[in-house]
Every structure is written in C-alpha cells, then in structure tokens.
Structure 1
C-alpha cells in the first residue's frame, strides 16, 4: 500500500469515526448546547426551582413519548394519546371520592381504558388495513365525544390527595412523576432491547415482509405496540392531572404531536425499525428546554409551533439523506 492509499484509508476511518460519534452523542451534545445558550440568555434558567419545574413538566410528555416509540418502530403513529390522557383524567374524577384508597381502582380503570383503545387502534391498523393516521384520529374523535357526552363540557376537581403527590411531589429531591418515567423507561427499554418481543418489533418495522416469512405474527406485534402506547398514555394522563390539579376536556392537549416530534428528533425513524426510548427522551428534554426558553425570554408562544415544524423538517431531511446513503 502506497502513501496515498494509506492517507485515503486513514481519512475514511476518521470520517466513519466522526459519523459514529455524531450518531451516538450528537443529540446529547445538542441538548447541552441548548442548555448553555439558554443559560447565557436567561440566568434564571439554572435556578434550582426552574430546573425542577422542567423535570416535572417533562415527565408526562416523556411517558407518552416512550409509548409512542413502540408505534413508530412498527411504521405507525398514535394520534389518540392526548385523548386517552384526557379521558383517563375524566375517569379519575368520575369516582367522586377523595380517599386515597380509591387510587388503585382509578389506575385500574385508566389502564383498562388504555387497553381497550389500544386494541381498537391496533385491530384497525393491523387487521383492517386502516392507515395509522385515520385509525387513531377516529379514536380521538370518539373519545372526545364520549367525554363531552359524559361531562356535558364541565370540568372536575374531585381527586384523591395522592394525585397531588404523584404530579407535584418530591422524593429524595426528585419529582415523583419523573421517577415514574424512569421506571417506565427502564421497563419498556428492557422489553425493546433484551426480549424476543423487542427483536420482533424491530424486525416488523424494518422488514415487514421478511418478518412474515420467518413466521412472526406481524399483526399481533403491531396490536401489542398500540396497546402499550395507549396504556402508557393513560398513566401519563393521571400524572398530568395530578400536576395540574384540575380536569378539563383538553388535558394533554398537544401531546399527540409533541410526542411524535420528540421521538423523531430523538432518532426514531418514521419509516420504522430504528430508534430507542433513550434517544426519544433526549428529544423530550430538548423540546421542554426550548419551550421553557420561549417563556423565560418573553417570546410569543407561537414560536413553539415554529420550532416544532423546523424540527420535523430537519429530522425528516436527515432520515432521507441517511436512507439514501444506506441504499448507496
């Protein structure tokens, strides 16, 4: 090998190493850069109370994102998560009791709601061939109608005191809902990366036909992913209502799109089969830091919408470019 060939080979190795570093640590570096910039622009950002507030606000969205990842991995999406959150919150107030002994019953009812909605979404997508967008949008509208029919548009605040602990409390200095998020992330991350079911999810999302040829029941895998998404959204709804302290018809409004934006920004491929929950959670914290910066800097709230759109466009462009490189 002559000197020119050795130089070219060394350059390629350095290029691959740089790409690997960007892929593995680029998102964390971008989050750190955001924090640094916002801290300079607004010193109030680094105040302990503001940081705890960010963590508390990020937890419910993080839960929804962790569930949304499962749907995205199998080439789907779940627009019904926000409506599931609102409906589970309404369920929490429908028992008209403030006794903490009712909390297990409320959680069981919310999880049952998530199970039913997830099954409906999954069956429509996997068995009936309805597009994920239309299937979950239809479920959203149905749940919204049920809520308005039941509550007649009124809000409620009859909640066991334990929900305030879940939504606003601290344990060892950390928000309780953040600890719930950590537990869910560890559990579902383990399922994705260390179980046969997790490997099936990646195979179904990456190569559906190949998955069918090796005997995987792709419909069952897809339905299970929608069930997981809806059940996690139901838990997130209860955590969010504990933080807000009052239930209205739009609890969790915007979490449907925010969860998709955060997951996509965190490296979960829209085309399925690629991504993980840790990357998606980094996307959550980037979004929350941006939203917090908008408030601290006194910018119009509409700036948040502009940022979301830019993020989706940039992430989509990166995936298309990456996909073209893989094909080449």
Structure 2
C-alpha cells in the first residue's frame, strides 16, 4: 500500500516547481515573441527599433495602470481614449511654449478627474453599467472636443512635451522613465496601502466590502478618477510623441488597454490581478503591432496575426492559473 503522506510529499515539490515556473509565463511569452520576431526580421532587434517600441509602450502602459484599478473594481473604462485626445488637443491650444506646460497639465488632468468622477457617479449612484457610463462620457467628450476645435485642431505641442514624449536619455526614453515612476507609485498603492486592500475587497465582493465598513462607492469612484487622470497624462505624453495632434489621438487605446490588462491577469470579474501583469500585456501588444508592421504584411493579415497572438497569450495565462 502506498503511503498517502509519501505520495503528497513526492507530489509537493513538483507542484511547487510548476507553480514557480507558471508565475513567469507572461514574461516567457514576451521573450519568446521578441526572439521569434528577431529571427524573422533582424531589424526588429536594432537599437532604433527597440527604442521606438519603448516610446510606444509608455503611453499605453500609463493608461493600463489606470485601467487596472477600474477592472479590479469590476468595471472598465471606455472613455480613456477620448480623455487622451482631449488632453492632446489642450496641449496644442496655447502658445506652444514651455511656460504653458503647468496650465496645460492642470486643465488636462482636471478634465480627466472630472470624467472619472462622472463615470464613478454614474456607476455607483445611478447603477449604470460601466460599459454604458464610460461610452456615454467618451461620446460627450468627443462632442465638446469637436466643438472646441471646429473639427481641425491647430497649434504646437510645447517643447517639454516633445522632449518627454519622443526623446531619450542614453537610449532610455523619458516617457518610459515616467511610466516606471507611475507604475511604482500606483503599484505600491495597490499592493501595500489600505486603499489598495479596499480596492481588492470591493472588486472581489462589494457586499462583503460594505459589511466590513468599506465605502465601496467611494473606492469605486476613486478608481475611475485615477483612470481618468492617468489617461490625461498619457494623452499629453502621446501628443509629445506624435507631434501633430488631431481629434483622434489615442484612438483604440480603450480596447488595447483592456486587452493588455486582461492578458496580464487582471480578472474582469474583479478582485484579482496587478499592475505589473498589465504592463507585460501592454508590452506584448506593442511588440505584436511593431512586428507585423516591420514584416510588411498585408493589413488584413496583420489584424489576424494580432488577434491570434492575443488569444495565445491570454490562453497561456489562463492555463497557468488552472
């Protein structure tokens, strides 16, 4: 007869090793994706292309940080792209000098915070679904933006935004440095602070949160405010990267940020995940977008490959959680 305790003892190390390896599934997938892309096209691993990818991942990563809070709280934020575009339009609405940077930052972040407050109020106080609430604010912001610009934004992005959005220091983009700072700050808030614990408890079960004395509505509203504020910052960074602003700057970031967050292990059912995983998801998306363009593939095939990689990465993550 086999000793049950011996069987468990033999199985234990194997499970432990499997668990340890599975925790690196997403980074392994990213490294493999980079390696395969480099083999197919050596230009992919050139210094200039790597620097370009880092420049591209920063704005998306900043949005993903805010989206992470909202998704952990059982929501989603479709208004982030419209907040980004509005912030970018504001960046060109002044004299184009560095003396206007503080005013631009305050107005843009203020609009992001106001959008987050409206989203949070609709979701918590009016019981509107996050999809409809954030879709509505997205459309309203578009309307205000088109009315303000008359459909054709004009003006110059201040040099400081150009520096942060498109320049590097010893090969490291300034916008990537900003992303790292924001990721560390909000990562600590989410993982170590009392508010972070309230976010996870509220996202896991709002009823339990209320029984524990947590103001679930307040926590949810703050989550949307964080998302709106970070989307505004990302819009300013992106305006510095592209240089020329139109009414659709940041278009598609609402879906890309959600996909990156979910791919990184942030559960749509709430209460699970972290910022680091979401950032890995953002990096995977940027690598895929860059690779299919670099390979010169037809547009239709590009879309198919992007979708396949997203599905594979998501399946890889889900498999390691089982």
Q: What is aligned with 2:132?
A: 134
CA distance in 1, matches of 2:91, 2:97: 12
* 1:206-260 Cα deviation digits (max 9, x unpaired): 1211111011000000000000001000000000010000110100010000000
- Mean Cα displacement is larger for which, 46-55 or 289-298? 289-298
Asked whether 1:121 is paired with 2:141, we answer no
Map 1:169-248 to 2 at 5 A: 169-248=167-246
Query: Does structure 2 retain, via aligned residues, the 8 Å contact 1:261–1:308?
Result: no
* 1:114-133 Cα deviation digits (max 9, x unpaired): 11000000000011100000
Query: Does structure 2 retain, via aligned residues, the 8 Å contact 1:157–1:245?
Result: no
CA distance in 2, matches of 1:144, 1:7: 65
Query: Does structure 2 retain, via aligned residues, the 8 Å contact 1:60–1:239?
Result: yes
Q: TM-score, normalised by structure 2?
A: 0.94
Going from structure 1 to structure 2, the CA distance change for 1:220 and 1:319 (only over 3 Å counts) comes to farther
Q: What is aligned with 2:70?
A: 71
Map 1:258-273 to 2 at 5 A: 258-273=256-271
Query: Does structure 1 retain, via aligned residues, the 8 Å contact 2:25–2:316?
Result: no
CA distance in 2, matches of 1:43, 1:91: 40
CA distance in 2, matches of 1:78, 1:315: 22
Q: TM-score, normalised by structure 1?
A: 0.92
Going from structure 1 to structure 2, the CA distance change for 1:308 and 1:261 (only over 3 Å counts) comes to farther
Long gaps (5+) in structure 1: none
Q: Displacement of 1:309 after TM fit?
A: 4.1
- Mean Cα displacement is larger for which, 290-299 or 212-221? 290-299
Q: What is aligned with 1:252?
A: 250
* 1:42-84 Cα deviation digits (max 9, x unpaired): 1111110110000001100000001100000000000000000
Q: CA RMSD in A?
A: 2.0
Query: Does structure 2 retain, via aligned residues, the 8 Å contact 1:74–1:204?
Result: yes
Asked whether 1:47 is paired with 2:41, we answer no
Asked whether 1:150 is paired with 2:148, we answer yes
- Mean Cα displacement is larger for which, 169-178 or 301-310? 301-310
> Which structure 1 residue ranges, 4+ long, deviate > 6 Å from structure 2?
315-323
Paired residues, number: 322
Long gaps (5+) in structure 2: none
Q: What is aligned with 2:289?
A: 291
Q: Displacement of 1:15 after TM fit?
A: 4.5
CA distance in 1, matches of 2:90, 2:8: 63
Q: Displacement of 1:29 after TM fit?
A: 0.7
